[in-house]
């Protein structure tokens, strides 16, 4: 990988993301940033693309939450510095903050100042959205108000969260939606197989 591009991408992360997160009391550990707010551990993760090569380097920003309420409910040890992929709820930044690029890419033609300012802007918008999330109920309110659960497969997560909180009615509603999603997916797969067999 081009050393200059590597250096510039590290500078982008530092100036566009790390500074804002540290000022918001996130502690850094490698590519992960953690902070506790009430019964919630909030996690921001920088994931560099596996396809980075030559004069281009890209990364994604992942956002995750670990909830004491849920971990106590399912008897999972509470961890103050969980990895993003072990958290109960995980999102990509672009699904949480409108106008966010899918991937942050650094190459010789990139305007680093412009990209840094955009990344900083999106991180500040994220912080504004999650600063008050100090419990699982607060997270559920925010996630549904901001439409963070736009993927039908996420219905199972919502069902488990509501079951944890003792809201059996909401839990059952989302399990039903999830089952309908699975049935539709299986039906579509069967129709595709039949179509392929006929060709």
Contact residues for 135 (Cβ-Cβ < 8 A; gap 6+) = 38, 39, 40, 67, 69
- For the stretch 57-77, what's the b/e string if a residue is b when 16 or more beta carbons lie within 10 angstroms of its beta carbon? bbbbbbbbbbbbbbbebeeee
Taking 70 as the pLDDT cut, the residues of the chain under it are: 1, 50-54, 150-152, 186-199
How many Cβ atoms are within 10 Å of 177's Cβ, its own excluded?
16
DSSP state at residue 77: P
Its pTM stands at: 0.86
As beta bridge partners, residue 62 has 45, 92
The pLDDT of residue 74 is 95
Structure tokens at 70: 């849920």
Contact 58, 106 (CB under 8 A): yes
User: Residue written as tokens 């309908």?
Assistant: 180
Grouping H, G, I as helix, E, B as strand and the rest as coil, residue 13 is helix
Cβ pair 80, 34 in contact under 8 A: yes
| Domain-wise residue ranges, the chain | 3-150, 151-199
Q: Return the pLDDT at 53.
A: 63
What confidence score (pLDDT) does residue 194 get?
A: 56
| Tens digit of each residue's pLDDT (9 = 90 or more) over 86-111 | 999 999 999 999 999 999 988 888 89
Residue 133 has a CB neighbour count (10 Å cut-off) of 21
């Amino acid at each position: 990988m081009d050393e200059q591009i590597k250096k510039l991408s590290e500078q982008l992360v530092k100036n566009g993301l790390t500074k804002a997160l540290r000022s918001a009391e996130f502690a850094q550990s490698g590519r992960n940033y953690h902070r506790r707010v009430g019964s919630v551990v909030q996690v921001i993760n920088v994931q560099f693309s596996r396809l980075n090569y030559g004069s281009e380097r890209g990364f994604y920003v992942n956002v995750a939450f670990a909830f004491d309420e849920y971990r106590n409910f399912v008897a999972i040890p509470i961890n103050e510095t969980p990895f993003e992929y072990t958290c109960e709820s995980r999102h990509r930044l672009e699904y949480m903050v409108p106008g966010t690029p899918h991937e942050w890419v650094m190459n010789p033609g990139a305007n680093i100042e412009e990209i840094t300012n955009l990344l900083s802007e999106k991180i500040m918008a994220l912080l504004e959205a999650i600063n008050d999330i100090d419990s699982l109920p607060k997270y559920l309110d925010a996630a549904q108000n901001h439409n963070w659960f736009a993927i039908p497969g996420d219905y199972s997560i919502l069902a488990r969260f509501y079951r944890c909180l003792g809201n059996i009615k909401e839990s059952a509603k989302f399990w039903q939606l999830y089952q309908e999603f699975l049935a539709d997916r299986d039906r579509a797969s069967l129709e595709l197989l039949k179509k392929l067999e006929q060709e």
